[in-house]
Amino acid sequence: MTRAQRECASRPLELLSRTTGIVTAAINFASMAAILLTLDVPLLAAMVVICLPMLVVQMIYGAKTYTLEYGRTDTRRMIEILGGMQIDRKILPQIISFGLSDYLFGRWLGSAESFVQQDVRLHRNRTAAETLSSVLVTISTVGVTAYVVYLNFSRGLALTVGGVMMYVTAFGGGLGAWQGAMRSVTGIYEGSLFLLDLVAFHKLRPVQTLHRGGRSTPEAIHEIRFENVGFRYPNSAAWALRGVDLTFRHGQSTLLVGPNGAGKTTLTKLLIRLYDPTEGRILLDGVDLREFDLTSLRRRIGVVFQDFLCLPFTAQENIGCGDVRNMQDQARVREAARRAGAQEMIERLPAGFDTVLNRMFKDGQELSYGQWQRVCIARSFMKQAPVCVLDEPTASLDVEAEAALLREINRMSLASMCILISHRALRPGIADRIVVMSQGRIVESGDYTGLIARGGEFARLARLYQSAEAIQPESGFVESQATAIMSDDEAVGTRVGAAP
Ligand code: ADP
């Protein structure tokens, strides 16, 4: 994709201009050839043959340029990433605090230097080879002058100096045109090598079967069932999920817990069909997810990922993106913001909901991570989807905002299917059901009380969460976060509207 992206802007235009170059060269060549034919046919053949070394040189170096570019895709990527990091305001504080500026600059310089050295070497060799072939052309022009003079005498043509020069100039002109045509041909060859990457990129098939125009996903979803689902990421031998049997139901909230790498996020990726299961199947009200039209499926599932998407748009657009068709519906955007606890914060911005959330733009404002998280949660609320997936939705929130959000999620889950992934807030009432995952498998499930009574993995995690042990390395938890919300907030632990 990197190669295709890099070449797609310039190469097609280059091919076009090269093609028109061939036409112009052909016209020039034809007129010069017509003059030479009045004198001698072998002269014309010589003109064609003399250019062949140049053609070969250009073909060879065209292919070498492509091979070089192909082989250093990773180096180019590294240069771009490292270069970008050094001007990224979000990353700079970390670079400075770790004292990494010189190291990163050194890494960047190392990659950039090897890049330039390869370019210099290639261009030096190419120039040398091209110069050699041009010398051949120049020598041939001298030879042609001598040959025309020889013809003049041997055939008794009685040409004047001007007459000889006319043929020599026609030869030079024809040669130039022929060289131009050759250059265009080799340019097209080189350009088409690069365009092959673009073609190959377009031919890449998605890792899943896309059913556009398949079944429309129903507005009300009663059940999503994972049946013996196993999944391996493309090009990975390890199973990220294996033997997962799990049913999510309308009106029920489920909390997925487990150490990093347990497969929680992967499970949600399968749910919105970023990937399809390697084995087993996922059924939505009894129908395989693959049967549904992808757009309508994703419209029905609101997801907030851990790496939330911060768009350089206004707050209104950032939230409205959750449902592009209703993006301009101010009341709906404000309601989504209110539910995510973002409304007051946005209204305090200089232009309120019309403030651009990026300081790189005029009058733009920067938000904190916690504020961004609320905006992104509001975006998912905007969708009003029957299924809602929140991956660590409270990770960047302060205690108060977290409590309010969990209340909202509790309220929302009564009318939808809510899937929550969290290391935090492992306390009674957080969800109707808790599913504990480890190494891609479900190891426990049940309600909070049952799992605590069982004394298994969840009980251990909850104990860690609720005690100072959470800061010990073997916990496998995000220790600093786990201690941050130790105080018991009654409101958070109680499901609004649920039976006491
Ligand atoms: P969790 O959300 O529980 O922390 P994940 O679902 O992100 O765990 O990861 C499960 C496993 O899948 C891990 O072993 C992880 O390394 C692997 N994994 C996650 N994303 C990818 C990916 N894009 N490509 C390959 N492997 C991945």
Rounded to whole angstroms, how far apart are CA atoms 124 and 23? Answer: 30
Is it the case that residue 408 has pLDDT exceeding 80?
A: no
Query: What rounded mean pLDDT belongs to the chain?
Result: 82
Is the CB of 236 within 6 Å of ligand 1? yes
At 462, list the tokens.
């909850």
277 three-state secondary structure: coil
Is the CB of 268 within 6 Å of ligand 1? no
- 266, 268, 271: which to mutate for ligand 1, most atoms within 8 A of CB? 266
pLDDT confidence of 495, banded at 50, 70, 90?
very low
pLDDT tens, 352-371? 999 999 888 888 998 988 88
pLDDT tens, 26-67? 888 888 888 888 888 888 888 888 878 888 888 899 889 889
Could you state, in order of their start, the residue ranges of all structural domains in the chain?
2-203, 208-300+386-500, 310-384
Residue owning tokens 């270069």: 83
At 162, list the tokens.
């001007």
Average pLDDT over residues 273-295: 92
Between 481 and 66, name the one with better pLDDT.
66
What topology is assigned to 2-203 in CATH? Answer: ABC transporter transmembrane region fold (1.20.1560)
- Edge to edge, the sheet with strand 241-249 lists 241-249, 223-231, 279-284, 287-288
Task: Determine contact, residues 95/105, Cβ cutoff 8 Å.
Answer: no
Q: How far is CA 3 from CA 67, 206, 354, 422, in A?
A: 12, 18, 37, 38
Is it the case that residue 481 has pLDDT exceeding 70?
A: no
208-300+386-500 against 310-384: fold identical: yes
Is it the case that residue 76 has pLDDT exceeding 60?
A: yes
Q: What atom of ligand 1 comes closest to residue 260's alpha carbon? A: 4
pLDDT confidence of 136, banded at 50, 70, 90?
confident
Q: What atom of ligand 1 comes closest to residue 263's alpha carbon? A: 6
Burial of 477 (C-beta count, 10 Å sphere; 0-12/13-18/19+): buried
Average pLDDT over residues 121-130: 90
Q: What is the DSSP string of 138-204?
A: HHHHHHHHHHHHHHHHHTT----HHHHHHHHHHHHHHHHHHHHHHHHHHHHHHHHHHHHHHHHHHHP
The secondary structure of residue 280, as a DSSP letter, is: E
Beta carbons within 10 angstroms of residue 408's beta carbon: 18
Most confident stretch, 44-53, 101-110, 182-191, 272-281: 272-281
Is the CB of 266 within 6 Å of ligand 1? yes
Rounded to whole angstroms, how far apart are CA atoms 187 and 13? Answer: 12
Is the CB of 270 within 6 Å of ligand 1? no
CATH of domain 310-384: 3.40.50.300
Q: What is the pLDDT of residue 380?
A: 87
pLDDT tens, 220-258? 899 999 999 999 998 899 999 999 999 999 988 899 998
Is the CB of 263 within 6 Å of ligand 1? yes
Between 1 and 273, name the one with better pLDDT.
273
Q: What is the pLDDT of residue 155?
A: 83
pLDDT confidence of 205, banded at 50, 70, 90?
low
Is the CB of 188 within 6 Å of ligand 1? no
Is it the case that residue 306 has pLDDT exceeding 60?
A: yes
Burial of 86 (C-beta count, 10 Å sphere; 0-12/13-18/19+): middle
**266 C-alpha to center of ligand 1: Å?**
6
Rounded to whole angstroms, how far apart are CA atoms 371 and 374? Answer: 5
- 257, 265, 389: which to mutate for ligand 1, most atoms within 8 A of CB? 265
- Of 165-174, 212-221, 222-231, 373-382, where does mean pLDDT reach its minimum? 212-221
Q: Which CATH superfamily is domain 208-300+386-500 in?
A: P-loop containing nucleotide triphosphate hydrolases (3.40.50.300)
Rounded to whole angstroms, how far apart are CA atoms 4 and 40? Answer: 49
Q: What is the DSSP string of 81-122?
A: HHHHHTT-TTTHHHHHHTT-HHHHHHHHHHHHHHHHHHHHHH
Q: Please tell me the pTM assigned to this model.
A: 0.65
Tell me phi and psi for residue 14, to 5 degrees: -65, -40
Going by alpha carbons, the residue nearest to atom 15 of ligand 1 is 261
pLDDT confidence of 206, banded at 50, 70, 90?
low
Most confident stretch, 16-20, 123-127, 144-148, 367-371: 123-127
Q: What is the pLDDT of residue 277?
A: 96
Is it the case that residue 208 has pLDDT exceeding 70?
A: no
Is the CB of 235 within 6 Å of ligand 1? no
Task: Determine contact, residues 443/437, Cβ cutoff 8 Å.
Answer: yes
